[in-house]
Structure 1
Amino acid sequence: MYAIEALSLSKRFGDLQALSAIDFTVGEGETFGFLGPNGAGKTTTIRILTGITVPTDGTARIFGSDIVQDTIAARRQMGIVHETSNIYTDLSAWQNLMFTAELYHVSRKDREKRGIDLLELFGLSGRRDDRTRGFSKGMKRRLTLAMGLINHPRLLFLDEPTSGLDVQSNLIIRDVIRELNEQGVTVFLTTHNIEEANLTCDRVAIINQGRIAAVDTPERLKKTIQSVQSIEIAFDPTSPVRSGNLEQIALVSEVRKEGDKFRLITENPPAVLDEVMEYAHEHHLRVISVNTLGPTLEDVFIRLTGLDIRTKGVKTID
């Protein structure tokens, strides 16, 4: 049995086709990433899968239960963590957890033990009885995730779980996702952080303009564009180097300035490496570090989504 089955899902809002017959499945115990630019259809999809929005056409099943025909049975299997915090700021962390547990009909004995464990897991035990109004964004996000886990879900929906968070909260949430995966919990993750998906997910789907562009493991997706290879090089900071000068090197198709490094895109890294070192010698540049890199998941994302989705003024809905 699949944790999620999306079969020809479509959604129309007036004249706008937000989803166009998308198909994908998520295996039980899998961490599945759902990537796409703004307006691609990510949020619309997750709202359908969680029973908030009804599809115009198609079927969605959660552990075999139709999300439209058998919504209650489907939603009992899941926890939902939305991008925006849904905590009650006049209540304490503990009260928020217990209220959520009651909504899911978790027994008193189980919810109290579960609540203690979750506060400890997310580093919030010391703030258990404090009103959440004074919590930082990271603390609120961790509490929201704890609330999504209070009912021991088999499937957890995470909508941009680490967006805008501090490093500590980011690391805690990523560790929790890995622990949940080891326990057999299925995780459906939407994110704009492509590196996060690369490090966390067993498979990813890339959606663009309401259609699925690709579904596969991050590594297999990277292999589909082996032509996007590169050399990453850093020079002594005192050496003035311009991207335009590096673009003159033979076989370099593009140069990207990334922090204190330059990334030279090429189909022939060994040949370009010789040229780069010769360039550095001729211009009296001291090379600090150099690496050859294969394509990244971000390269796949850019290749599949194109540049047209960044056009200003396009009417979209996510």
Structure 2
Amino acid sequence: MVRRFGDLTAVDGVSFHIAPGETYGLLGPNGAGKTTTISVVAGLLAADAGEVRIAGRRMGPRAIAPKRRLGLVPQDLAIYPELSARENLMFFGHLHGMRGAELKRRTDEVLDLIGLTDRAKGQTKEFSGGMKRRLNIGIGLLHHPDLLILDEPTVGVDPQSRNAILEAVEALSTEGMAVLYTTHYMEEAERLCDRIGIIDAGTIQAEGTRDELIRIIGELDEIRLVGTGDLAAALMALQEIGAVERAVLEGRQILLHVRDAPTAVATVVTTAGRSGVELADVEITRPDLESVFLHLTGKGLRD
């Protein structure tokens, strides 16, 4: 898709697909084009080129059918403070054409999912920020959308509420929803997202699973061995392991740079032991998404 504002091309050829039950993270620094991309996907803005399809139906500002299959949870809260949590859900359910026993059942399911069953009758103006955020998510997923857009849903909430929100999002895959998730917290993307697209300057710079993205920058895992015995002999033996790219002896430690450390570590430990080393500690360090993000954009996620 392409979206321009005068001479500025805010979104330039962005393309991705989200499968049912998949959580797709869209990460980028401020001004990268995330908000414009979400607005086009949600049908709030028209694309200047390309198209968005939800459940096979083409999305646009005047498209009604695909919007019925969309759930949008914006950064700004979209709830009625004078209504209770249950009343909010029932009201929005009516807007989606839900009625009677179906609406009551689904409201109860959502209240349980977002952890607000015991506060269902309380006015939402009395809720904490985290509770309001959770209700906001509940409204978005109430009508079983094919695609749920979560735009930074944990902004400004306490750690306990944040964890409750993340647990609710994790449960959505069991409902078969496709989820488009944006965040300024890299650990959330690591925890929740099956695949991630990194956007900068209006284009997708890279896309894939966590491990696929890390392989893009060619960083290796590290295994650090601490022990006593014939470390020099162990170093030579460890260098013969296929997964080991580099091995360095540092005092009582051997530092290994390896491919796929969780798979290689058993062979590494066995080889060290057979070489006469008694290990006191084994430490694995793996590169993370922050390293990939900095490599591709030159900025931190919150910049």
TM-score range (shorter-chain normalised) is 0.7 to 0.9
Residues 158-204 of structure 1 show CA distances to partners (whole Å, capped at 9, x for unaligned) of 11122232222222222222222123211111111122111211111
Alignment pair present for 1:109 and 2:105: no
Matching residue's letter, 1:74: P
Secondary structure of the 2:155 match is: coil
Q: Give, in whole Å, the separation in 1 of the partners of 2:20 and 2:207.
A: 16
Q: Give, in whole Å, the separation in 2 of the partners of 1:310 and 1:178.
A: 23
Alignment pair present for 1:210 and 2:186: no
Residues 186-228 of structure 1 show CA distances to partners (whole Å, capped at 9, x for unaligned) of 1111111122111211111000010110111111111222336
The alpha carbon displacement at 1:37 in A equals: 0.6
TM-score normalised to structure 2 length: 0.77
> 1:161: which partner in 2?
153
> 2:250: which partner in 1?
274
Q: Give, in whole Å, the separation in 1 of the partners of 2:219 and 2:293.
A: 14
Secondary structure of the 2:36 match is: helix
Matching residue's letter, 2:250: D
> 2:260: which partner in 1?
none
Change beyond 3 A, Cα 1:88–1:308: closer
Matching residue's letter, 1:202: D
The alpha carbon displacement at 1:302 in A equals: 0.8
The alpha carbon displacement at 1:306 in A equals: 1.4
> 1:244: which partner in 2?
none
Answer yes or no: is the 8 Å Cα contact 2:214–2:292 preserved in 1. yes
> 2:47: which partner in 1?
55
Name stretches of at least 5 consecutive residues in structure 2 with no aligned partner. Answer: 225-243, 255-280
- Percent identity between the aligned chains? 41
Alignment pair present for 1:150 and 2:126: no
The alpha carbon displacement at 1:85 in A equals: 0.9
Q: Give, in whole Å, the separation in 1 of the partners of 2:170 and 2:91.
A: 26
Matching residue's letter, 2:208: D
Of residues 83, 89, 96 in structure 2, which corresponds to 1:97?
A: 89
Change beyond 3 A, Cα 1:205–1:38: same
Q: How does 1:192-231 map to 2 (within 5 A)?
A: 192-227=184-219
Bigger mean CA offset, 179-188 vs 219-228? 219-228
Q: Give, in whole Å, the separation in 2 of the partners of 1:308 and 1:125.
A: 38
Matching residue's letter, 1:118: V
Q: Give, in whole Å, the separation in 1 of the partners of 2:63 and 2:109.
A: 29
Alignment pair present for 1:184 and 2:160: no
Of residues 136, 139, 144 in structure 1, which corresponds to 2:131?
A: 139
Change beyond 3 A, Cα 1:309–1:197: closer
Answer yes or no: is the 8 Å Cα contact 1:195–1:298 preserved in 2. no
The alpha carbon displacement at 1:276 in A equals: 9.1
Bigger mean CA offset, 62-71 vs 138-147? 62-71
Q: How does 1:230-245 map to 2 (within 5 A)?
A: none
Matching residue's letter, 1:27: A
Matching residue's letter, 1:141: R
Answer yes or no: is the 8 Å Cα contact 1:226–1:295 preserved in 2. no
Residues 126-154 of structure 1 show CA distances to partners (whole Å, capped at 9, x for unaligned) of 22222111211100001101111111112
Residues 10-47 of structure 1 show CA distances to partners (whole Å, capped at 9, x for unaligned) of 11122322111212222222111111111111111111
> 1:236: which partner in 2?
none
Secondary structure of the 1:26 match is: coil
> 1:124: which partner in 2?
116
Name stretches of at least 5 consecutive residues in structure 1 with no aligned partner. Answer: 1-8, 233-266, 279-288, 312-318
Q: How does 1:285-296 map to 2 (within 5 A)?
A: 291-296=283-288
Matching residue's letter, 1:153: P
Q: Give, in whole Å, the separation in 2 of the partners of 1:217 and 1:310.
A: 21
Matching residue's letter, 2:77: S
Q: Count the aligned residue pairs.
A: 260
> 2:20: which partner in 1?
28
Answer yes or no: is the 8 Å Cα contact 1:223–1:295 preserved in 2. no
Change beyond 3 A, Cα 1:130–1:219: same
Of residues 7, 10, 13 in structure 1, which corresponds to 2:2?
A: 10
TM-score normalised to structure 1 length: 0.74
The alpha carbon displacement at 1:95 in A equals: 1.6
Answer yes or no: is the 8 Å Cα contact 1:269–1:292 preserved in 2. no
Change beyond 3 A, Cα 1:308–1:78: closer
Change beyond 3 A, Cα 1:35–1:88: same
